[in-house]
Structure 1
Amino acid sequence: MSNYTRMSPPASPTSSSFSNGDPAQGKQETRLTATAKRQKYLRRLLKFKQMDFEYAIWQMIYLFVSPQKVYRNFQYRKYTKDQWARDDPAFLVLLSFWLVVSSIGFSFTLGIHFSGFLKLILWVVFVDCIGVGVVIATFFWFLSNKYMIQAPPRGQDVEWGYAFDVHLNAFFPLLLILHLFQLAFLGLINGESYFGLLFGNTLWLVALTYYIYITFLGYSALPYLKNTRNLLFPCIAIILVYVLSLIFNWNFSKGLCYFYKFRVM
């Protein structure tokens, strides 16, 4: 029992409210249309007191320690609230906070002026994270609903909001590796030594592979999808590009720095 207590996430006020009543009644009350769910989520974006940041922090930690546990809690949300996607924007808010922190570090390291720093924040939050995430989530939402639903269909589909959550889950480790951890070694990585190239490109290999792996876990957690292992195939292409980069001296981190400086000029 004590081991279970240590491994369990902190209780969420929004989810634990069902324990005082009938779970079936709670599911009935929270069964909303996709539009209603989206509107509810957006309304809570500025209501910080209603966000469960403790639970969001627990999820961020376990995306590194044991990402399977994070998706098991998504299954619990499906049981209690009849939806897979998050209804609490706390994770997105914390993710944006870390993007701002890392942008400060990049601006200081690359000598970007204050107005350029503000532009960089807007780019990394609203384009690199959210904008690209919308595109990726839409792609996997269409792919999974079109080709991965088990036949015969059982009246279940992949929620777009869940596909976006899977992107956010996979993006967080990538952010910490390439925006925070890598930042401390930019001097070495952007230097002329081959070891710096090897170290920097290896960080990219780890970050991108982990993104794909957490994405795979997200869709394999849905019991009505098939062939989810196919989502791991891009790892082969990433390894191939990684090997070619070491042969032809392609420094991904140096390219990222040039790109960041170019977009804020």
Structure 2
Amino acid sequence: MMSSSPLPEPVTTRMRQRHRTESMKAMDKCHQYVTRLFRFGHMDFEFAVWQMIYLFVSPKKVYRNFQYRKQTKNQFARDDPAFLLLLFVWFVISATGLSLALKLHFLGFVKFLFWVVFIDCVLVGALVATLFWFVTNRYMRSSDTEDVEWGYAFDVHLNAFFPPLLILHVFQLFFYNVFISEDYFIARLFGNTLWMISVTYYCYITFLGYSCLAIVRHTQTILYPLVPLFFVYLVSIIAGINVCRVMMDFYHYRVY
């Protein structure tokens, strides 16, 4: 029985050199990004605000800029941390509002802020980004010369995370104690619909993030989970499950 012959040495060497070069470039980009976190004067906050607005009204325009960055700087991922810093500001604002709605003490506010930033956004986002990074590069990539950057996958998560953050952690606050937390059918319908809208935003913006990459195909599969989620949404309303109140109770007992 003949064993398969290994790759020729020059090919193996080139592959190793390519991976080593890509790793060094990724580390260098990460170092530059972290360094810029402390240089507020070099950040374009006006453009970051523009991105946040258009993630609501026209997400496609946001990803056109990612394509322009690829042409000019040879990377899709953000190199300006202004968006990340503004997102953290919204975390503080939303955590303050939710702490007041849940009547949390200061330590509870700190715990809640920590949970939302590092668990809900960073940890879960890193897992989701890694999953999409692996699946797109392994099964959905149409070119062997380029791959999807992990940093870009995490940027897509941050983009998709922002609208649900404002809908569920800011807009909902104006209605929770006076309306959504009640047992009425209309209150349950309104609160669960906010969650359905938020999930739809997340899936749609994620879909746009990968569909704008020429090297990724079959991106419509990212929208498929919306079908079973819609049925879960209907069942929750019929079964009398108030998703907003369930999540509020979860956060309250988690950080109180």
Q: Give me the TM-score of the superposition, normalised by structure 2.
A: 0.89
- Return the offset for 1:34: 1.0
1:109-131 Cα distance to aligned partner (Å, 9 max, x none)? 11100111011111111111111
Q: Which residue in 1 is equivalent to 2:65?
A: 73
> How big is the alpha-carbon RMSD for the aligned residues of Structure 1 and Structure 2?
1.0
Q: 1:63-102, aligned counterparts within 5 Å? A: 63-102=55-94
Q: Which runs of 5+ in 2 are unaligned?
A: 1-23
Q: Secondary structure at the match of 1:33?
A: helix
What amino acid sits opposite 1:41 in the alignment?
Answer: Y
Which is further off, 188-197 or 32-41?
A: 32-41
2:233 and 2:254 map into 1 onto residues whose CA distance is 25
Q: Which residue in 1 is equivalent to 2:20?
A: none
Q: 1:7-156, aligned counterparts within 5 Å? A: 33-150=25-142, 153-156=143-146
1:177-213 Cα distance to aligned partner (Å, 9 max, x none)? 1111111110211112111000000000001011000
Q: Of 182, 199, 211, which aligns to 2:172? A: 182
What amino acid sits opposite 2:76 in the alignment?
Answer: W
- Return the offset for 1:40: 1.2
- Return the offset for 1:67: 0.6
Aligned length: 232
Q: Secondary structure at the match of 1:241?
A: helix
- Return the offset for 1:108: 0.6
- Return the offset for 1:135: 0.7
What amino acid sits opposite 1:62 in the alignment?
Answer: Y
Q: Which residue in 1 is equivalent to 2:5?
A: none
Larger Rg: 2
1:49 and 1:190 map into 2 onto residues whose CA distance is 44
Q: Secondary structure at the match of 1:83?
A: coil
1:250 and 1:42 map into 2 onto residues whose CA distance is 43
1:261 and 1:48 map into 2 onto residues whose CA distance is 35
Q: Secondary structure at the match of 1:46?
A: coil
Would you say 1:165 and 2:125 are equivalent positions? no
- Return the offset for 1:154: 3.9
- Return the offset for 1:167: 0.3
**1:45–1:89 CA contact under 8 A, matched in 2:** yes
What amino acid sits opposite 1:61 in the alignment?
Answer: I
**1:209–1:238 CA contact under 8 A, matched in 2:** no
Q: Secondary structure at the match of 1:225?
A: coil
1:251 and 1:49 map into 2 onto residues whose CA distance is 45
Q: Which residue in 1 is equivalent to 2:11?
A: none
Q: Which residue in 2 is equivalent to 1:255?
A: 246
- Return the offset for 1:238: 1.2
Would you say 1:205 and 2:196 are equivalent positions? yes
Q: Secondary structure at the match of 2:37?
A: helix
1:169 and 1:58 map into 2 onto residues whose CA distance is 12
- Return the offset for 1:254: 0.5
Q: Which residue in 2 is equivalent to 1:223?
A: 214
Q: Which runs of 5+ in 1 are unaligned?
A: 1-31
